[in-house]
Amino acid sequence: MYGPGDVRVEDVPDAKLHEPTDAVVRVVLACVCGSDLHPYRSMLATGDGVPMGHEFIGVVEEVGAAVTGLAPGDFVVSPFAFSDNTCEFCREGFHTSCVHGGWYGVGGVGGAQAEAVRVPQAAGTLVKLPADVDEALWPSLLTLSDVYLTGWHAAHMARVAPGRTVTVIGDGAVGLSAVLASKRMGAERIILMGRHTDRTDLGREFGATDVVAARGEEGVAAVLALTGGAGSHVVLEAVGHLPAYEQAYGVLRPGGTISRVGVPQYEQAPVGFGSLFRKNATLNGGPAPVRAYIERALPDVLEGRIDPGRVFDRTVDLDHVADAYQAMDSRHALKVVVRP
């Protein structure tokens, strides 16, 4: 990506091992992330371009000398951030703060919207998948790279559990994933705030019990009415813009939790007596340490209890990645698979 709306497909040098802890993985499926739309809309143009894509499943082609537990031919899923899985922050479940961790497309590491990608800290990062898995499950396995487990992270941080009322703000792929994760955690009442009927319909299939199309004050009033005036125990904010944040504390019940997984496109926001403090609100969330959750979610996908891959509604090849961005930006597609 070279600037807003400027996505180019280019030949680059083949991915190869740089460090003994690296692996090279041939990408089987990748995809475009809602967070990729932020630079697509507003990045500063750059002459060098930025490699894009951070979600993929693939086949290991080569491993460095220090990589244990992986061999060429292994079918794997990668979290959207790499990590050693052994440092003190990883051990506490916060792999996105790994002391040896980092991000695809940054600092000499390539992007996953590509034929192959170098994976740093491969032993800690990659999780093996069954070799013989049905291709129909590939899209759902791909969601373990980011989108489903980002929704899971939101719900996990907010301690979603039976008896909790959950409001999800945003009907994008992360919001819908947060609905599915909340349902999987036992939430009985899940209110989805979103305006796109095709998306909220999928949200209902994922477990949403109520849909609120209104936004702002009107949307807040609607959620309060649905909760007998008390508000929602949990709000999962999957947008990242300030109005969604304001909506979040508006619908929150005293003592409740706002968990954010939409990357905030703001730095300052209300946190004082008029917003969070008076209510004893909890605010949390952040970049999802999906590595912490993959092993737990994998059986749910392999055994068919959940089908998070339904968030994908289009597939492109590498030559048409620019179309994928355009389709998602214009909301003609919810989330697009890239199949090299």
Contacts with its own copies by CB under 8 A lie at 88-89, 92-94, 96-97, 157, 230, 253-255, 260, 263-264, 266-287, 289
Closer by beta carbon to its own copies, 81 or else 176: 81
Q: Which residues contact 94 (CB under 8 A, 6 or more apart)?
A: 289, 292
Distance CA 78, CA 18 (A): 18
Task: Give me the DSSP letters along 298-320.
Answer: HHHHHTTS--GGGG--EEE-GGG
Interhelix angle 197-206/173-184, rounded to 10 degrees, is: 20
Distance CA 340, CA 56 (A): 11
To its own copies, the closest distance from the beta carbon of 280 in angstroms equals 3
Closer by beta carbon to its own copies, 209 or else 284: 284
Please report how many Cα atoms fall inside a 13 Å half-sphere around the Cα of residue 289, on the Cβ side. 19
Closer by beta carbon to its own copies, 68 or else 280: 280
Return the ∠ at Cα 170 (arms to 249 and 337), rounded to 5°. 150
- Joined together, the tokens standing for residue 138 give 């590939």
Q: How far is CA 23 from CA 270, 311, 325, in A?
A: 44, 29, 28
Closer by beta carbon to its own copies, 70 or else 154: 154
Nearest C-alpha neighbor of 171 from the set 272, 94, 239: 239
To its own copies, the closest distance from the beta carbon of 156 in angstroms equals 11
- 217 exposed, middle or buried (CB, 10 Å; 0-12, 13-18, 19+)? exposed
To its own copies, the closest distance from the beta carbon of 323 in angstroms equals 29
To its own copies, the closest distance from the beta carbon of 276 in angstroms equals 7
CA 323 to chain centre: 21
Closer by beta carbon to its own copies, 38 or else 320: 38
Count how many residues are written for the chain: 340
Distance CA 43, CA 216 (A): 27
Closer by beta carbon to its own copies, 50 or else 230: 230
Nearest C-alpha neighbor of 78 from the set 38, 35, 26, 39: 26
To its own copies, the closest distance from the beta carbon of 154 in angstroms equals 11
Closer by beta carbon to its own copies, 67 or else 292: 292
To its own copies, the closest distance from the beta carbon of 89 in angstroms equals 5
Closer by beta carbon to its own copies, 147 or else 202: 147
Torsion over CA: 105, 109, 111, 112 (sign)? negative
To its own copies, the closest distance from the beta carbon of 17 in angstroms equals 29
To its own copies, the closest distance from the beta carbon of 94 in angstroms equals 4
